[in-house]
Amino acid sequence: MKEGYGPNAPALLSLKQRGAALAITVDCGITAFEALEEAAEGGLEVVVVDHHVAEPRLPRALAVINPNRLDDDSPHGQMAAVGVAFLLAVAVNRVLREAGWYGDRPAPDLRQWLDLVAMGTVCDVVPLTGVNRAFVAQGMKVMAQRGNPGIVALADLSRMNEAPEAWHAGFLLGPRVNAGGRVGEAGLGVALLTAPDYATALPLAQKLDAYNNERKEIEASCLEAAIAQVEGGDMHDGLVYAVSEGWHPGVIGIVAGRLKERYNRPACVVAMADGVGKGSGRSVAGVDLGTAVIAARQEGLLINGGGHAMAAGFTVAADRQNAFHEFLANRIAAQTGDGGPVAELGLDGVLQPRGATVELAEALQKLAPFGAGNREPRFAISAARIVKADVVGSDHVRCILTGEDGGRLKAIAFRCADRPLGKLLLQSGGLPIHIAGQIRVDRWQGRESVQMIIDDAAAVS
């Protein structure tokens, strides 16, 4: 909120004045042309470590490390910035070893940081393919060793009572680490993950947990207002766009993600203040949002902007707001055609409740880690009937299903009580419905059972 996103010249030059000779940007910098030019003129060397879409022109820097440079022919463009940073550390370590640097000192074991690489890779929602898959698979093993006091404190606070999986990183740990930067103190996440012991880490984890609860409240308020705005106005076929004064810029990315899920459209949310809007966007498969935002900046419609296919950020002046919105909608319409993206739901098989066993769920886990690019297998239960359904938490729907084989299966659908899916589950009246979702082991108080995580449902016609 004070300095915006990415490197800025005053901050870089103040580091130089305080004695810094080198600055490293991570997950930003690839389009920070003006800021890095001023830094170079001021005598500060900069290394850019980024993964966002690059332009033909590169920023002035000592080195620009980005698998998405136009002149990069490596097969690793899907890496998150945390993976790029880790491979930079690997390369530096190799050079130091070859130079004899470790002759009289111990070399670091870089594998100890794979838990951080895994968490960052999952939370950035990049495809879990290629090297990313290796990072997350090995990083979960490192995380299970509970060697990082900060992650251990967060895991305990989050009541993680099982071996860590990718979804733990994405839904339990990551949001808490990020909460400080979104609504509180940006340095808390670093302080937690570098804490020397559990006693130091625990109060930091508790503080981040409190900020995460505050973030949820702010997010819920912003999301409610954004939904009302979208549904009360004219929505472009291919784009959801919401803008308002007073929205907290720390949650707009999460709200954009919620809108994307709700409407199956690329979604942008803009927080206006003092005549300038800070925006964040999330996209759907097949729509390259980052390239569209970069094109808008090149057209002079934005103060700044960039991103990658599935996510983007931008800064727009109030008097350019409508023009940017129209430009973006037209660019996306050219990619999706009339009517916008069509929602698709892939299925891997059909089950009856008795076929959903703990053994099946454990066998499926051998295909993990799951995430973008490696979707968890999804099954349909055909003509299921809901024996019982109720709302748990704020808006989750919990069910007990039965099928033609007479078996029963626990199931839950998240964040849907007020949406068509939730209403169908709660009001099915015993009529048969088709249900699709994932099969997972549910461990509770030392007991194991199987549960379906519901993605969608449809009445039997």
Per-residue pLDDT tens over the stretch 291-341: 999 999 999 999 999 888 889 999 999 999 999 999 999 999 888 876 667
Stated pTM of the model? 0.82
Domain spanning 9-213, CATH class: alpha beta
The answer to whether the bond into 149 is cis (omega within 30° of 0) is: no
Which pLDDT belongs to residue 461?
81
The residue extents of the domains of the chain are 9-213, 234-336, 349-459
CB of 384 closer than 8 Å to CB of 433: yes
- β strands within 394-432, DSSP E: 396-402, 408-413
Beta-bridge partners for 390: 398
- The correct answer on CATH 3.90.1150.10 for the domain covering 234-336 is no
Which pLDDT belongs to residue 423?
94
> Can you list the residues of the chain whose pLDDT is less than 70?
234-237, 338-340
Please enumerate in sequence order all residues whose Cβ is within 8 A of that of 193, keeping only pairs 6 or more positions apart, or say none: 116, 148, 150, 151, 177
How far apart are the C-alpha atoms of 436 and 274, rounded to whole Å?
46
Which pLDDT belongs to residue 442?
87
- The correct answer on CATH 3.30.360.10 for the domain covering 349-459 is no
Which pLDDT belongs to residue 85?
98
Nearest to 51 by CA among 300, 270, 306: 306
Which pLDDT belongs to residue 429?
87
How far apart are the C-alpha atoms of 36 and 407, rounded to whole Å?
63
Same fold, 234-336 and 349-459: no
Please enumerate in sequence order all residues whose Cβ is within 8 A of that of 34, keeping only pairs 6 or more positions apart, or say none: 9
